[in-house]
A = this chain, B = another copy of it.
Amino acid sequence: MTMSSAKISAAIDNLKSVGVRITPQRHAILEHLIQSMSHPTADEIYKALEGKFPNMSVATVYNNLRVFKEAGLVKELTYGDSSSRFDCVTTDHYHIICDSCGKIVDFHYPGLDEVESLAESVTGFDVGRHRMEIYGVCPDCKRKH
Protein backbone atom coordinates (compact mmCIF):
# COMPACT_ATOMS: atom_id res chain seq x y z
CA MET A 1 0.00 0.00 0.00
CA THR A 2 1.48 3.32 -1.04
CA MET A 3 1.86 6.36 1.12
CA SER A 4 -0.87 8.33 -0.58
CA SER A 5 -3.37 5.52 -0.81
CA ALA A 6 -3.05 5.14 2.96
CA LYS A 7 -3.76 8.82 3.31
CA ILE A 8 -6.74 8.54 1.00
CA SER A 9 -8.20 5.65 3.00
CA ALA A 10 -7.73 7.56 6.21
CA ALA A 11 -9.44 10.60 4.76
CA ILE A 12 -12.33 8.51 3.47
CA ASP A 13 -12.76 6.80 6.84
CA ASN A 14 -12.78 10.22 8.42
CA LEU A 15 -15.52 11.40 6.07
CA LYS A 16 -17.59 8.26 6.49
CA SER A 17 -17.40 8.59 10.24
CA VAL A 18 -19.11 11.96 10.06
CA GLY A 19 -21.75 10.66 7.68
CA VAL A 20 -20.44 11.97 4.37
CA ARG A 21 -21.26 9.73 1.44
CA ILE A 22 -18.30 8.77 -0.71
CA THR A 23 -19.20 9.37 -4.33
CA PRO A 24 -16.83 8.70 -7.22
CA GLN A 25 -16.42 12.45 -7.67
CA ARG A 26 -15.53 12.95 -4.04
CA HIS A 27 -13.05 10.14 -4.17
CA ALA A 28 -11.40 11.58 -7.24
CA ILE A 29 -11.17 15.12 -5.87
CA LEU A 30 -9.68 13.84 -2.65
CA GLU A 31 -7.26 11.60 -4.50
CA HIS A 32 -6.15 14.46 -6.68
CA LEU A 33 -5.62 16.74 -3.71
CA ILE A 34 -3.55 14.17 -1.89
CA GLN A 35 -1.53 12.89 -4.82
CA SER A 36 -0.86 16.14 -6.62
CA MET A 37 1.30 17.40 -3.77
CA SER A 38 0.45 20.89 -4.94
CA HIS A 39 -2.04 23.50 -3.89
CA PRO A 40 -4.52 23.53 -6.74
CA THR A 41 -7.32 25.96 -7.41
CA ALA A 42 -10.87 24.67 -7.81
CA ASP A 43 -10.56 25.16 -11.53
CA GLU A 44 -7.31 23.21 -11.71
CA ILE A 45 -8.99 20.29 -9.97
CA TYR A 46 -11.95 20.57 -12.31
CA LYS A 47 -9.70 20.50 -15.37
CA ALA A 48 -7.54 17.69 -14.03
CA LEU A 49 -10.59 15.48 -13.61
CA GLU A 50 -12.53 16.29 -16.73
CA GLY A 51 -10.96 13.34 -18.52
CA LYS A 52 -12.38 10.97 -15.95
CA PHE A 53 -15.61 12.89 -15.34
CA PRO A 54 -16.59 14.68 -18.53
CA ASN A 55 -19.92 15.69 -17.07
CA MET A 56 -18.78 16.86 -13.68
CA SER A 57 -19.95 20.33 -12.83
CA VAL A 58 -17.63 22.95 -11.44
CA ALA A 59 -20.17 23.37 -8.66
CA THR A 60 -19.43 19.82 -7.58
CA VAL A 61 -15.81 20.73 -7.07
CA TYR A 62 -16.69 23.77 -4.99
CA ASN A 63 -19.37 21.91 -3.03
CA ASN A 64 -17.04 19.10 -2.12
CA LEU A 65 -14.13 21.32 -1.26
CA ARG A 66 -16.49 22.95 1.20
CA VAL A 67 -17.49 19.56 2.57
CA PHE A 68 -13.85 18.59 3.00
CA LYS A 69 -13.10 21.90 4.65
CA GLU A 70 -15.92 21.44 7.11
CA ALA A 71 -14.60 17.97 7.90
CA GLY A 72 -11.21 19.50 8.60
CA LEU A 73 -9.49 17.63 5.79
CA VAL A 74 -8.72 20.61 3.64
CA LYS A 75 -7.66 24.18 4.17
CA GLU A 76 -8.50 27.05 1.87
CA LEU A 77 -5.58 29.32 1.11
CA THR A 78 -6.52 32.86 0.16
CA TYR A 79 -3.74 35.01 -1.11
CA GLY A 80 -4.03 38.25 -2.97
CA ASP A 81 -4.67 36.70 -6.35
CA SER A 82 -7.99 35.93 -7.91
CA SER A 83 -8.71 32.39 -6.81
CA SER A 84 -8.41 30.30 -3.68
CA ARG A 85 -6.07 27.35 -3.45
CA PHE A 86 -6.73 24.21 -1.49
CA ASP A 87 -4.32 22.35 0.71
CA CYS A 88 -4.71 18.95 2.30
CA VAL A 89 -4.35 19.24 6.02
CA THR A 90 -1.53 17.09 7.24
CA THR A 91 0.68 18.61 9.84
CA ASP A 92 0.64 22.31 10.58
CA HIS A 93 2.93 24.30 8.39
CA TYR A 94 3.39 27.67 6.80
CA HIS A 95 3.84 28.50 3.13
CA ILE A 96 6.51 30.35 1.23
CA ILE A 97 5.39 31.78 -2.09
CA CYS A 98 7.46 32.80 -5.09
CA ASP A 99 6.75 36.36 -6.21
CA SER A 100 7.96 35.51 -9.68
CA CYS A 101 6.28 32.20 -10.62
CA GLY A 102 3.72 31.75 -7.87
CA LYS A 103 5.05 28.42 -6.66
CA ILE A 104 4.00 27.53 -3.13
CA VAL A 105 6.33 25.52 -0.93
CA ASP A 106 5.55 24.11 2.49
CA PHE A 107 7.67 25.47 5.28
CA HIS A 108 7.75 23.88 8.69
CA TYR A 109 8.34 26.09 11.66
CA PRO A 110 7.26 25.78 15.27
CA GLY A 111 3.95 27.57 15.85
CA LEU A 112 4.31 31.20 16.86
CA ASP A 113 2.64 30.79 20.22
CA GLU A 114 4.39 33.76 21.79
CA VAL A 115 2.97 36.04 19.14
CA GLU A 116 -0.51 34.76 19.83
CA SER A 117 -0.25 35.22 23.57
CA LEU A 118 1.21 38.68 23.25
CA ALA A 119 -1.52 39.67 20.84
CA GLU A 120 -4.04 38.36 23.33
CA SER A 121 -2.72 40.45 26.20
CA VAL A 122 -2.23 43.61 24.13
CA THR A 123 -5.55 43.62 22.31
CA GLY A 124 -7.88 41.80 24.69
CA PHE A 125 -8.94 39.40 21.95
CA ASP A 126 -9.39 35.69 22.59
CA VAL A 127 -6.92 34.45 20.04
CA GLY A 128 -7.76 31.31 18.14
CA ARG A 129 -5.26 30.99 15.34
CA HIS A 130 -3.01 32.84 12.99
CA ARG A 131 -1.78 32.66 9.45
CA MET A 132 1.53 33.62 7.97
CA GLU A 133 2.97 33.58 4.49
CA ILE A 134 6.49 34.34 3.46
CA TYR A 135 7.24 35.83 0.05
CA GLY A 136 10.39 35.75 -2.00
CA VAL A 137 11.99 34.38 -5.14
CA CYS A 138 12.41 30.64 -5.50
CA PRO A 139 15.70 29.00 -6.52
CA ASP A 140 14.43 28.21 -10.05
CA CYS A 141 13.49 31.80 -10.72
CA LYS A 142 16.73 33.09 -9.23
CA ARG A 143 18.62 30.93 -11.71
CA LYS A 144 16.60 32.17 -14.66
CA HIS A 145 17.12 35.88 -14.01
Contact across chains for B107 and A123 when beta carbons are under 8 A apart? yes
In the bound complex, residues from chain B placing their C-beta under 8 Å from that of A133 are 130-132
State how many copies of this chain the complex holds.
Answer: 2
| CA A123 to CA B84, docked complex, whole Å | 23
A137 at the interface (CB under 8 A from B): yes
Query: When A78-B80, A79-B78, A131-B133 are in contact, do A96 and B123 touch as well, CB less than 8 Å?
Result: yes
Partner among B98, B119, B128, B142 whose Cβ is within 8 Å of the Cβ of A107: B119
Q: Which residue of B lies closest to A80 (CB)?
A: B78
Q: Size class of A's contact patch?
A: 35 or more
Contact across chains for A136 and B132 when beta carbons are under 8 A apart? no
Contact across chains for B130 and A134 when beta carbons are under 8 A apart? yes
In the bound complex, residues from chain B placing their C-beta under 8 Å from that of A128 are 99, 135-137
A144 at the interface (CB under 8 A from B): no
In the bound complex, residues from chain B placing their C-beta under 8 Å from that of A15 are none
Contact across chains for A132 and B115 when beta carbons are under 8 A apart? yes
Q: Which residue of B lies closest to A129 (CB)?
A: B135
| CA A116 to CA B109, docked complex, whole Å | 11
A135 to chain B, nearest CB (A): 5
Query: When A79-B78, A80-B76 are in contact, do A125 and B109 touch as well, CB less than 8 Å?
Result: no
